Amino acid sequence: MNDDNAMNERPARPAMSATRHRWPLITALAGAAAVAIGVYLLIEAGTGGAVGYTLLVVLPAALSAFVAWAGSMGRNWRRSSFFLVPVWLNVGFAAIGALFLREGVLCIVMVMPLWMLFGLLGVWPVYLHRKKQARVDSSIFRADALLLLPFLALLIDQHVAAPQDSYVVTRAIVVDASTEESWQALLAIPGIAADEGRWTFTQNVLRLPRPVDATLTGRGVGAVRDARWQDGIAFQEIVTDWQPGQAIAWRFAFPDPSIHLRTDRHINPNSKQLRIERGGYRLIPLADGRTRIELWTRYTMATPVNAYAAMWGERLLGDIQANVLAITAARLKGGAHG
């Protein structure tokens, strides 16, 4: 009888042990989520720039290190377990950002590679330390201090100005038309159908809005091109250079909040981090009677990772420009301009 009872009680011990070993990891994940949301809300409340060193560098490194350390306490993690920590944190925070914090797809896609990189850098010293230990000793270090680093970094962020850099993105297309015909076609582009233009990663995958029409009021310097995009987005291009058949340039103006309300708020084109300033067309006559049309856009960025952000700017703005040029070329080919 006693032997039967002993046999019945034995299987419960491994289950209890496994559950006990999971608690540090569960607690670490909950703590990391709470800190991430807390830092995010402080940033949104105005304690610092939305795109700062804290959010992009310190937060992913500190939280990944904390979860890796706390989760591996009392357990001999394999190397893959350590380096999966930034992956799962990325997935979790992307879901939280999209579902509860109203972050747009574009912001999430741009931030995830940075979070992965700095998360891996945070995990690396933890992995090396655990690897050197003969046995995992959870009492030699308290990882809780790592959770304070993002808040301390947030205080420092207030006194560190992000570097500012300007960039120019240019796309070009060669059309079977003279410079005069091309000039007339690009001044105004009314009634753009949803199926006009070309496939782009930015507009077909990331789902950024496409142009609906562009109308011109006036002629010469001071004229206004009113641009409308899908989702009710509107902005203006105030002409600053007017050379018929050769070039037109403008400065961007955002007279209403439509673009702010309908785009990712952290990449608003008229914000502290990003300012899209000027743009224009250049028409270059070719020897065979065709014309090379160049569309350029100048913008300024102020983030801790301008070079990285500029790679996205080259792709995003380049796709938008390529789509507009494709529309213009198709209309010139079909004679639907003027």
Q: Do both 131 and 213 map to the same domain?
A: no
- Let me know: does 163 contact 306? Beta carbons within 8 Å: yes
Q: Do both 207 and 240 map to the same domain?
A: yes
Q: Do both 116 and 222 map to the same domain?
A: no
Which strands form 224-229's sheet, in the order they lie side by side? 164-175, 291-302, 274-285, 247-253, 234-243, 224-229, 211-217
- Let me know: does 172 contact 325? Beta carbons within 8 Å: yes
Q: Do both 189 and 306 map to the same domain?
A: yes
Q: Do both 181 and 291 map to the same domain?
A: yes
Q: Do both 175 and 304 map to the same domain?
A: yes
Confidence category of residue 12, pLDDT binned at 50, 70, 90: very low
Instruction: Quote the pLDDT of residue 142.
Output: 62
Q: Do both 143 and 177 map to the same domain?
A: no
Q: Do both 195 and 280 map to the same domain?
A: yes
CA-wise closest residue to 66 among 51, 80, 86, 46: 86
Q: Do both 148 and 177 map to the same domain?
A: no
d(CA 119, CA 80): 14
> What's the CATH number where 254 sits?
3.30.530.20
d(CA 55, CA 49): 9
pLDDT in tens, 83-113: 999 999 999 888 888 887 777 788 889 999 9
Domain count, the chain: 2
> What count of residues does the chain have?
338
d(CA 162, CA 124): 27
- Let me know: does 302 contact 163? Beta carbons within 8 Å: yes
Tell me the residue range of the domain where 234 lies: 164-334
Q: Running DSSP on this structure, what letter comes out for residue 221?
A: T
Instruction: Quote the pLDDT of residue 1.
Output: 47
Q: Does the pLDDT value for residue 114 go beyond 70?
A: yes
Q: Does the pLDDT value for residue 19 go beyond 80?
A: no
Q: Do both 152 and 175 map to the same domain?
A: no
Q: Do both 142 and 187 map to the same domain?
A: no
The alpha-helical segments, DSSP class H, found in 73-209 are 79-99, 105-132, 149-157, 179-187
- pTM for the structure as a whole: 0.84
- Let me know: does 273 contact 267? Beta carbons within 8 Å: yes
Which tokens hold the place of 180?
A: 């005069």
Highest mean pLDDT among 148-157, 179-188, 271-280 belongs to 179-188
d(CA 117, CA 122): 9
pLDDT in tens, 43-56: 777 644 457 888 89
The alpha-helical segments, DSSP class H, found in 133-228 are 149-157, 179-187
Provide, rounded to the nearest whole percent, the portion of the chain with pLDDT above 90.
Answer: 55
Q: Does the pLDDT value for residue 57 go beyond 80?
A: yes
Instruction: Quote the pLDDT of residue 47.
Output: 46
